[in-house]
Structure 1
Amino acid sequence: MPNPYREIFKAPGAKGFAAAAFFARLPIAMAPIGIVAMLSQAYGEYWLAGAVSATFALTNAVVAPQISRAVDRIGQAKVLAPATIISVAAFLVLLAATNQRWPTWTLFASAFFAAAMPSIPAMVRARWTEIFRDRPELNTAFAFESAADELVYIAGASLSVGLSVSLFPEAGMLVSTLLLAFGSIAFILQRSTEPKIRPMEHGAQGSAIRQRPVQIITFVLIFIGATFATAEVSTVAITKALGHPDTASLVIGVYAAGSFIVGLIVGALNLTMPLQRQLAIAVSVIALTTLPLLMVTTVPMLALAIFVSGVAISPTFITAFGLIERRVPEAMLTEGVTWVMTGIGIGMALGSFVTGWVVDTFGAHNGFWVSVAAGTISLVTVLLGQRALGGERSRMPAVPQPAE
């Protein structure tokens, strides 16, 4: 039986843009938790770290879809280059402000402008779509990207925290900024696979967020993102309380082990169950596996509970983006994917802030109650949205072009 993942990488340029995109999007995971790790060590206050991280992520949640909409209309290279320059410059200011203890407002201001960081996962999915549009290989490509996203969120967070704890507070954010700069350059320079600008369709002139499936999936992934952030912040706090702060990156890293493997397996299978039901099952697993996190008392127990709670992450991503591809008009695909990705970012920002406050107020072990609440809300939302998530994307005729 041929390997479906090997087949998709036979397409010209696929290996190059996929590799560049992997490194360019690591900052999506590294930056929010990296800001928390950097500022909590430098200033000793989780609330400040969470607030600055939230400023970055929430602003990015608003700006990134607008960047993606411009990409759909102008092209990737023309939009990604200036957006990346602004983001990299702002991150460098944030690093300097932290290291030199500049006034607190400079932390928030630099985080605000750093939010110009574009959604690389949306850009790379647009390239896969350009290559495999209306072909079965597109589902395999999306499954690969979902597994890669999960690995980025978990491995990136682990790398960011590990560097900051092991070397110096700014180390994680410094590496994140360099990856954003050089990864984006490598991605932008690959012009042969850049998607063509497609004509708009009737019904596609507004924002993708007006589409009901986009609203539901984005809302669900806000709370899935909150479970990520809660696990990360609580792990840093608990391992520190237990006297083993150096194990934080290892514990966070075990998220990736089971989930990455399960995600690749699911992506290679030709499952016939409707995607909305697959999403409901995956989110149910995430919600149920938040409960053991409340009972951890040692680092090994924490690592095991974190491992179990991460198993369904990749399947959740795979089904969520599969639903977006099927239910959103083609002219809105990049923006639709971006809204879902920024939903994860919003959840991580809010999760970091709320969990930081809970940890500061009630103790390290109580932070996981945020995961329980977030998992429950995401599950209820998926169950209530089953009917709206069902069906296929409507094919709408292109807007007639005026005669020359």
Structure 2
Amino acid sequence: MTRARWSELNRDSPLMHKAFSLESVFDEVVFIVGPILSIGLCTVWFPAAGPLLAVVFLTVGGYLLVARRATEPPPHPQEGKSGPGTLRSAGLKVLISTFAAIGVVFGAVDVTTVAFADERGHKAAASLVLAAYALGSCVAGIVFGTLRPGRPPHQRFLLGVGFLAVTTLLPLSADNLWLLAVALFVSNLAVAPTLVTAMSLVERFVPRGQLTEGMTWTSTGLTLGVSIGASAAGVLVDSFGARTAFALPAGAAVLALLIAFLCRRRLRPVPQGPGTAPQAPGTGGHASTERSPDQGQLA
């Protein structure tokens, strides 16, 4: 919902790229501070302290967001009902599938990192290693927000997933927490730019009235992958050890690259002629013409 607000506020502005990058940086700051704060409270105070604090943050933050009526996107009920479903977009399906594979990377890395630290007798240090993991994406988001992208979004997305696939192999060679922290920092440098670019692609694949739904589908794919990755990583850690279990996120990242590469044509919006909104191949010609002016120029 926050990204949908950014889209509405900056729809005709070059600030959209910076807004999405800033949003990604905020996400990563949370992932840096959250594990450290939560693990500290749970171990020093009482076990439920971390989850209880999360409930407080969620309640207060949710209320503050809902209360900001001035930035709330106007509803488009007729457009949303009359247009095709968001899943009719072939490009969005590719993004959801790729996000699911990337989610496996996130879920598996979290669980395996904690197990890796525990095996070496420094379980509490796992929060610092995961903070370094999030810091990589945070730094990349800050730098990416200051740049003016020179390539089309579909190309940037493919490059980002490719970098993730290569660098996710690094933790397999780490034999101590310091090396693991460095490896995870480097591997996460691609995350913020890739997710920011994906949000730009979602805008092209769905009508304006279904933008929030389109972004929700990509987040759903990511969350599904996180769940699968966390549970599968637990099984692998118990069976083969934490270091070997890092093969799961590496394999998932390679799978994400294969999906994005093999379906790259569907990620490229195709102009349909003067005055017609861009649409992704495979949408069957049902894409809505309710698009912003900058979308046509970007295509």
TM-score by length of 1: 0.64
- Are 2:17 and 2:196, in contact at CA under 8 Å, matched by a contact in 1? no
TM-superposed CA distance for 1:162, in Å, is 4.7
TM-superposed CA distance for 1:397, in Å, is 4.9
TM-superposed CA distance for 1:129, in Å, is 2.3
Q: Give the total of aligned pairs.
A: 276
- Please show how residues 63-212 of structure 1 align to structure 2 within 5 Å: 123-153=1-31, 155-201=33-79, 205-212=83-90
What is the aligned partner in structure 1 of residue 166 from structure 2?
A: 288
2:157 equivalent to 1:265: no
3-state SS of paired residue (2:131): helix
Paired letter, 1:281: L
Residues 251/154 of structure 1: CA separation in 2 closer, same or farther (3 Å cut) = same
- Are 1:166 and 1:246, in contact at CA under 8 Å, matched by a contact in 2? no
CA distance in 1, matches of 2:99, 2:30: 16
Residues 189/203 of structure 1: CA separation in 2 closer, same or farther (3 Å cut) = closer
Paired letter, 1:372: A
Q: Choose the corresponding residue for 1:222, options 100, 103, 111.
A: 100
CA distance in 2, matches of 1:342, 1:152: 19
CA distance in 2, matches of 1:202, 1:279: 27
TM-superposed CA distance for 1:238, in Å, is 0.9
TM-score by length of 2: 0.85
- Are 1:202 and 1:397, in contact at CA under 8 Å, matched by a contact in 2? no
- Are 1:164 and 1:170, in contact at CA under 8 Å, matched by a contact in 2? yes
3-state SS of paired residue (1:180): helix
- Are 2:20 and 2:196, in contact at CA under 8 Å, matched by a contact in 1? yes
CA distance in 2, matches of 1:371, 1:307: 14
- Are 1:155 and 1:256, in contact at CA under 8 Å, matched by a contact in 2? no
3-state SS of paired residue (1:312): helix
Residues 158/373 of structure 1: CA separation in 2 closer, same or farther (3 Å cut) = farther
CA distance in 2, matches of 1:390, 1:273: 12
2:195 equivalent to 1:303: no
CA distance in 2, matches of 1:339, 1:159: 30
CA distance in 1, matches of 2:61, 2:177: 34
What is the aligned partner in structure 1 of residue 133 from structure 2?
A: 255
Paired letter, 1:244: H
CA distance in 2, matches of 1:192, 1:338: 22
2:196 equivalent to 1:318: yes
TM-superposed CA distance for 1:158, in Å, is 4.9
Q: Choose the corresponding residue for 1:336, options 206, 214, 218.
A: 214
- Are 2:80 and 2:209, in contact at CA under 8 Å, matched by a contact in 1? no
- Are 1:254 and 1:303, in contact at CA under 8 Å, matched by a contact in 2? yes
TM-superposed CA distance for 1:244, in Å, is 0.6
What is the aligned partner in structure 1 of residue 253 from structure 2?
A: 375
Q: Deviations over 1:222-251 (max 9, x none)?
A: 111111111110111111110011101000
Q: Where does structure 2 lack aligned partners over 5 or more consecutive residues?
A: 271-277, 280-286, 291-299
Q: Deviations over 1:103-137 (max 9, x none)?
A: xxxxxxxxxxxxxxxxxxxx112222222222222
CA distance in 1, matches of 2:33, 2:88: 33
- Are 1:150 and 1:313, in contact at CA under 8 Å, matched by a contact in 2? no
TM-superposed CA distance for 1:156, in Å, is 3.6
Residues 202/302 of structure 1: CA separation in 2 closer, same or farther (3 Å cut) = closer
Residues 162/340 of structure 1: CA separation in 2 closer, same or farther (3 Å cut) = farther
What is the aligned partner in structure 2 of residue 245 from structure 1?
A: 123
Q: Choose the corresponding residue for 1:278, options 137, 143, 156.
A: 156
What is the aligned partner in structure 2 of residue 93 from structure 1?
A: none
- Are 2:206 and 2:288, in contact at CA under 8 Å, matched by a contact in 1? no
TM-superposed CA distance for 1:210, in Å, is 2.6
CA distance in 1, matches of 2:39, 2:93: 32
Equivalent pairs: percent with the same residue? Answer: 37
CA distance in 2, matches of 1:323, 1:158: 33
CA distance in 2, matches of 1:397, 1:241: 56
Q: Where does structure 1 lack aligned partners over 5 or more consecutive residues?
A: 1-122, 399-404
CA distance in 1, matches of 2:155, 2:237: 35
